[in-house]
Structure 1
Amino acid sequence: MTRLDTLSARGRDFLGSTHAIMAGAMTWVSERNLVSAISNAGGFGVIACGAMPPHILDAEIAATKALTDRPFGVNLITLHPAMADLIAICGKHDVSHVVLAGGLPSGAAIEAIKATGAKLMCFAPTAALAKKLVRSGVDAIVIEGSEAGGHIGPVSTSVLAQEILPVIRDVPVFVAGGIGRGAAIAAYLEMGASGVQLGTRFAAATESVAHANFKRAFVRASARDALASVQLDPRLPVIPVRALKNAGSEAFAAKQREIANLVDAGTIGLAEGQLQIEHYWAGALRRAVVDGDIESGSLMAGQSVGMVTSVMQVAEIIDELVGEAEAALSNRAA
């Protein structure tokens, strides 16, 4: 057994995978093809449910199971109006792991997921919240730093790891955000992580259904191109989104000003304004990923995008990451 195997044993046992490398759930990207490819290559794929209605998730899980006999998870958004039905769908298919994102889950949701027999993973932005989730029965924690792509929190991965890894020992903890090389995986495992989660590198994989234009934009980009959106009006709090800078980024600023003016005029309320902002991101992401519109669409990417230098097969990405992690650990031991 290698040093890497020893350090990642808890994460590998928890996931049921060869490597303790999870894939981040990316809307429009993390579907049957990419998820099954990651699991088949020894990693752990995760379906992004996003705003899917229950019947679509039902079909997606069934299609993924037809492509792999390895474990994979399903990511559910806590605010989804059909949460109970989505959990039931996961239970129907004996989904082994459910990942909850988008806010603090309700006690009812936690109980319902645990009742299906699935292992429950949740995101924790602070040590205090991580402890609360563990007390609530969550089986594993994911900590994701601001270097990640898509909706992000305010704290970097390295700071979260230093804050949370020493105090959360009862359950496995997976580290995410800005990870693009195996040496970083090795470092976080040595700090006490059970495994890691990557999104950006897999988004540009051969098996990703993302448009070729989307992948080419990732290959061309550097870390400094992946910028977090700015909130313009304190009355319209929006979770920052990290994406590659383009005309769509500028359009989002204009959209915020437009909605603020509508609120000022009394045309719409604050809640409706926030909803329109979220709908903007959903539509812009689809334009980029599905339609290949890399000018006005949203190119959600983490700062690790600078380490995407070519479109590679999933198995090649995982083999490279594992090889780099093993080499880093061997060098330090030497």
Structure 2
Amino acid sequence: MPPDALLADHEVTARAQLDRLWARGREFLGTEFAILGGAMSWVSERHLVSAISNAGGFGVIACGSMGPDLLAREIEATKALTGKPFGVNLITMHPQLDDLIRVCIEARVGHVVLAGGIPSGAAVRAVKDGGAKLIAFAPALVLAKRLARTGADALVIEGSEAGGHIGPVSLTVLAQEILPQIRDIPVFVAGGLGRGDAILGMLEMGAAGAQLGTRFAASSESIAHDRYKAAFVRASARDALPSVQLDDRFPVIPVRGLVNEGTKRFLVHQAETLRRFQSGELTKEAAQLEIEHFWAGALRRAVIDGDIEGGSVMAGQSVGMVTQIQPTAVIIAELVDQAVQALLRRAA
């Protein structure tokens, strides 16, 4: 057999092996590849979501603070751009969660992701009784077991390497704790993933697939501002740091993003707010609100307006692997090829 033909034959074998490794995830999502797009507010809308799904992955609309009418329009607009499966991410603390679930069910969305907290029994029942599959986030093994028991059809375990709101534990540790223990439902991994060979390692540990956000945020189809994407290309992993809390009495929800003038001003703002609290100028409640309101609208300013110095440039540590702006289909093909090449190297 000629060398080129032999190589092609080995690649077919390696690709078949990869397909077996993430077969459970592919079947659950109904996709060619078990790769989900992370739900990123202002970024994961119709254009990026449909691009991920059309490329063989699984796009996920980030509902964020949308109301029911706006979400319904976004779902329909996404359907107009793709006939492939996609999901919707809803925040459990949204005051209109029940109505948002109803919108998803009426629109026949096949998968609903409940994020930002442990979903209530009522929310779980509403999703499942409506015929959709429920995906939930599990930040610890005890919660993973509870969610699997109470009706989640799949889980995402997201490490602290991820961008945006994060938990305290890395994916490396979460994967070791959770993947061997949760076998009854698919478990997808997320946080700091930027290469296909890394995804392959997680599949071999028992993951059903992977979720990526940062690389897709800098894709051609992402509506993020050019300055936002350029900041990703320039950045290294060590530029994506979690927000800093100065005083335990005033908790700051950790958010990972690129360090900029805004993050520096936030430290000054916290210190000044603490001074005003200690002098009696502010009550504890007022001081907490002063700190929480600092970032109000900051993500939109960065993503949509391109204010990458004063806005919140949320990014995971995989941002160092974003070296150019690429079409979504190219990113997914690259991830798959990296996994296949890793299998070929082993065979060799």
Larger mean Cα displacement after TM superposition, 34-43 or 226-235: 226-235
CA–CA distance in 2 between the matches of 1:132 and 1:94?
A: 27
CA RMSD, 1 decimal = 1.5
CA–CA distance in 1 between the matches of 2:31 and 2:74?
A: 21
- Structure 1 residues 277, 4: CA separation in 2 closer, same or farther (over 3 Å shift)? farther
CA distances 1:57-113 after superposition (whole Å, capped 9, x unpaired): 111111101110101010011100000010011011011111111111111111111
**Is residue 238–residue 274 contact of structure 1 (8 Å, CA) maintained in 2?**
no
**Is residue 153–residue 239 contact of structure 1 (8 Å, CA) maintained in 2?**
no
CA–CA distance in 2 between the matches of 1:257 and 1:20?
A: 45
- 1:286 correspondence with 2:300: yes
Q: Which amino acid aligns with 1:64?
A: T
Shift of 1:238: 2.2
CA distances 1:126-176 after superposition (whole Å, capped 9, x unpaired): 111000001110000100001100011111111100010000000000000
Aligned residues: 333
- 1:121 correspondence with 2:135: yes
CA–CA distance in 1 between the matches of 2:273 and 2:72?
A: 35
Shift of 1:257: 3.2
2:151 corresponds to? 137
| TM-score for both structures, normalised by structure 2 | 0.92
Shift of 1:277: 4.4
- Structure 1 residues 325, 12: CA separation in 2 closer, same or farther (over 3 Å shift)? same
- 1:197 correspondence with 2:214: no
Instruction: Identify which of 78, 88, 91 aligns with 1:74.
Output: 88
Larger mean Cα displacement after TM superposition, 230-239 or 314-323: 230-239
CA–CA distance in 1 between the matches of 2:289 and 2:67?
A: 18
SS of alignment partner, residue 2 of structure 1: helix
Larger mean Cα displacement after TM superposition, 9-18 or 322-331: 322-331
Q: Structure 1: 5+ residue runs without aligned partners?
A: none
- Structure 1 residues 82, 332: CA separation in 2 closer, same or farther (over 3 Å shift)? same
Larger mean Cα displacement after TM superposition, 96-105 or 281-290: 281-290
1:313 corresponds to? 327
Q: Which amino acid aligns with 1:36?
A: S
CA–CA distance in 1 between the matches of 2:293 and 2:30?
A: 36
**Is residue 243–residue 252 contact of structure 2 (8 Å, CA) maintained in 1?**
no
Shift of 1:259: 4.2
Q: Which amino acid aligns with 2:148?
A: V
- Structure 1 residues 134, 242: CA separation in 2 closer, same or farther (over 3 Å shift)? same
CA–CA distance in 2 between the matches of 1:3 and 1:16?
A: 18
Q: Which amino acid aligns with 2:258?
A: L
CA–CA distance in 2 between the matches of 1:291 and 1:52?
A: 19
Q: Which amino acid aligns with 2:116?
A: G
- Structure 1 stretches of 4+ with a deviation exceeding 2 A read 254-270, 272-282
Shift of 1:279: 4.3
- 1:241 correspondence with 2:229: no
Shift of 1:284: 1.1
Shift of 1:276: 5.3
2:49 corresponds to? 35
Instruction: Identify which of 82, 91, 101 aligns with 2:105.
Output: 91
2:75 corresponds to? 61
**Is residue 240–residue 258 contact of structure 2 (8 Å, CA) maintained in 1?**
yes
Shift of 1:263: 4.9
CA distances 1:247-281 after superposition (whole Å, capped 9, x unpaired): 011122233334445555364553x6555545443
- Structure 1 residues 279, 78: CA separation in 2 closer, same or farther (over 3 Å shift)? farther
Q: Which amino acid aligns with 1:51?
A: S
CA–CA distance in 1 between the matches of 2:114 and 2:276?
A: 33
| TM-score for both structures, normalised by structure 1 | 0.96
- Whose radius of gyration is greater, 1 or 2? 2
